[in-house]
């Protein structure tokens, strides 16, 4: 009896969907680590393509982005997983550049005690620590950090100067 779905071995003349975008097999040697929050995803993608000129960058979208690399005991398991994933991409895809993006009001922090800091200040510290951690694992790799926030109904992204806070120009 025939089934209503296709098996992985079945090649049909008409796929369910064919993307309008062509496939380009060239890698760009860069990855972005950002939060899974889908409300920011399209804007981050646009930023990486248009501003940073990084087409086809590798994506590591996980809750909180690189926050779990900052050394919080609460995120021990997430840190181990993200470290493995990053090391894999550096090795297998030849990464030379990693872009970290944090975003305003990130829910990943809801269970973390901030010690009196604002969430934005904590995220700044965490991005700096995460960048240092990645550099220690992968000497020679370039790591940069950005912050996405809501401004007049849109998403604005700025370079994050971690020790001195948000650099708004
Ligand atoms: Zn988030």
pLDDT at 57: 98
Q: Ligand 1: distance of its center to the CA of 153 in Å? A: 18
* Residue 8: inside a domain: no
DSSP label at 105?
Answer: T
What spacing in Å lies between the alpha carbon of 26 and ligand 1's midpoint?
30
Averaged pLDDT, 122-149: 95
Q: How many domains does the chain have?
A: 1
pLDDT in tens, 72-94: 999 999 999 999 999 999 999 99
Confidence band for 13, pLDDT divided at 50, 70 and 90: confident
Q: What does the pLDDT read at residue 82?
A: 97
Closest CA to 83 of 130, 36, 41, 128: 130
Q: Is residue 149 part of a domain?
A: yes
**For 9-32, what is the mean pLDDT?**
90
Q: Distance, CA 104 to ligand 1 centroid (Å)? A: 8
Q: Is 160 or 45 the better-scoring residue by pLDDT? A: 45
Mean of pLDDT values over 24-38: 97
Q: Which residues surround ligand 1, an ion (CB under 5 A)?
A: 35, 37, 106, 108
Q: What is the mean pLDDT of residues 52-60?
A: 98
Q: Is residue 21 part of a domain?
A: no
- Given the DSSP bridges, would you call strands 142-151 and 97-103 parallel, antiparallel or unpaired? parallel
Cα-Cα end-to-end distance for the chain:
65
Instruction: Flag whether 20 is in a domain.
Output: no
Does residue 168 register a pLDDT over 70?
A: no
Is residue 1 assigned to a domain?
Answer: no
The CATH number of the domain where 89 resides is what? Answer: 3.40.1050.10
Strands (E), 26-167: 30-34, 58-61, 97-103, 142-151, 154-161, 165-166
Average pLDDT in the chain: 90
**Share of residues in the chain with pLDDT > 70 (%):** 88
Containing domain of residue 36, as a range?
30-166
- Biggest CA–CA distance in the chain, Å, is 67
């Amino acid at each position: 009896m025939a089934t209503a779905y296709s098996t992985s071995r079945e090649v049909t003349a008409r796929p369910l969907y064919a993307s309008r975008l062509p496939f380009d097999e060239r890698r760009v040697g860069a990855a972005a680590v950002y939060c899974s929050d889908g409300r920011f995803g399209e804007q981050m993608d646009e930023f990486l393509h248009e501003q940073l000129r990084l087409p086809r960058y590798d994506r590591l979208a996980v809750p909180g982005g690189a926050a779990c690399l900052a050394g919080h005991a609460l995120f021990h398991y997430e840190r181990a997983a993200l470290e493995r994933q990053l090391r894999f991409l550096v090795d297998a895809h030849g990464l030379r550049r990693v872009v970290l993006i944090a975003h305003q009001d990130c829910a990943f922090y809801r269970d973390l005690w901030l010690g009196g800091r604002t969430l934005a200040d904590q995220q700044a510290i965490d991005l700096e620590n995460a960048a240092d951690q990645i550099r220690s694992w992968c000497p020679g790799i370039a790591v940069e950090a950005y912050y996405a926030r809501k401004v007049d109904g849109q998403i604005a992204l700025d370079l994050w100067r971690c020790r001195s806070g948000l650099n708004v120009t």
